Each structure stands twice: as structure tokens, then as C-alpha cells.
Amino acid sequence: MDTQNFNFQDPINVQSVSSDVASKAFISKVFSWMFLGLVITGLASYLFATDASLASIIYSVAPNGAVGFAPMGWVAAFAPFALVLLMGAGFNKLSYGAMAITFIVFSLLMGMSLSSIFLVYATSSIYSVFFITAAMFGLMAVLGYTTKTDLTKFGSLLMMLLLGVIIASVVNIFMHSSGMQYIISFACVAIFTGLTAYDVQKMKNIGAQVGSNGDATVGKMAVYGALSLYLDFINLFLALLRIFGNRK
């Protein structure tokens, strides 16, 4: 029999291609949600910092001219932590719609809270650091997606280092050491740069397992994955801003 006209496909290659397509589809959903969250945060941050009527919702001015948080400002500062815990602990109970709405509300509150950076840093400095952050994040995201090295062990190490940084930050609240703050900021840059690559690889692996279907659970996983990458980006941005930002 003449086999030259037959197109035999290697089952292993077919499976590999299928997994790659599924990973790309899932990663696309994750980054779409992350991008939406950053846009909401960016717009909210700018508007609540520049519009006097909106700023009055979250800031109050004392008779001596000192600016502090109004009650809504404290809500915006601490509510995002509660929403992160809600999305994590309630993953199985929340619907896809509830998870999406929670993420959007979280992004809005983060924007309201982060509007304070416009009161501390020069606007041009904020923009330049943002673009530096985007470049670093993009580079590490590509590295995390393309590398063949298993980053799982590095992820565990980075999480332990992050716990150490959190403890050091709490201690420094009482020490008020500017030198310690710089060390913590540089450590955060290293940690969240590494976590970006780790989380992207994790999302890639999850995408290969869950496929590219429209199941609600897959949608929730995409939103939660977007939350992880969003936090990597924001924390990297804030760490770089503390190092390179020009204060007013």
C-alpha cells in the first residue's frame, strides 16, 4: 500500500498542540481580566486625586491643613484585603458573576486608595515608574510563559521571603527607619518580579489542564488568576515608586 498520501499525526504532538492552545486561551482570559482591573484602578486613582468633589469622599482636611482619610477613605484602604480573602476562601461558593463583580469592586476600591500617591509623588514620576513596571512585568511574564524550568520551588521560596518582608514592614512601622524601608522596597522588587514569572507559569499549567471551554469554574479561575497577577503588578509598582519616585 502506498502510504505517501496518508497524513499520520503523532498523538503526542496533537495532545501537546491542544494543551498549548488551551493554555493560550486561558492566559488570554486571565490577562484580559487583569488589564480591566488595572484600567479601573488607574482611572479611579486619577479621578479621586484630581476631582475635588470625588476627593472629598475619601479625604478630609483638618483645620491645620493636614490631609487625612475620611470614613470612606478608611473603607477604601482596608476593604480590598477583605475582598481578597473573600475571593480566596469563597472560591467554591461564589458564582462566576459574583467573583467577577467582587474583582471589579476590589479594583475600584484599590484605585480610590491608591489615589493618595498623587498627593505624595510628582505625577510625571508616577507615570514613568508605571511604564518601568509594565516593562519589567511584561518581560517576566514572557519568561514565565516560555521557560522550561519548573518554577514551583522558587515560588515556595519567594512566598517565604514575602512573609519575612511583611513581618519586617510591621516592625518598621514602629522603628520608622528610612534605611529599612529602602531595603524592604528592594526586596519587594525582587520578590514580585520573581512571583510574576512564577504566577504566569502556574496560569499556563492550569490552562493546559482545564482546557479552553466556557465552564463557569474556568471563568472563576481566570478571574482569580487575574487577581494574583494584578497584585504582583501593583506591589511591584509601589515598591519601585518608593525607590525611584520623586516626592512633592
Q: What is the mean pLDDT of the chain?
A: 88
Yes or no: say if 129 and 244 are a contact pair by the CB < 8 Å rule: yes
**Res 214: pLDDT:** 60
The span from the CA of 208 to the CA of 25, in Å, is 9
Q: What b/e readout covers 186-201, taking b as 16+ CB neighbours within 10 angstroms?
A: ebbbebbbbbbbbbbb
Residue type for 154, please?
F
What is the pLDDT at residue 212? 52
- What span, in angstroms and rounded, lies between the C-alpha atoms of 238 and 85? 21
Question: What is the C-alpha to C-alpha distance for residues 200 and 149, in angstroms, rounded to an integer?
Answer: 13
pLDDT reported for residue 213:
55
Confidence (pLDDT) at 127: 94
Low-confidence spans in the chain with pLDDT less than 50: 1-6, 8-9, 11-12, 14-15
At 247, give phi and psi (nearest 5°): -75, 150
Residue 61 main-chain phi, psi, to 5 deg: -115, 120
pLDDT in the model for residue 4: 46
What does the pLDDT read at residue 60? 87
202 CB-near residues (< 8 Å, 6+ apart) = 151, 155, 225
Rounded Cα distance, 235 and 193, in Å: 10
Map residue 61 onto helix, strand or coil. strand
- Assessment of whether the complete model's pTM goes beyond 0.85: yes
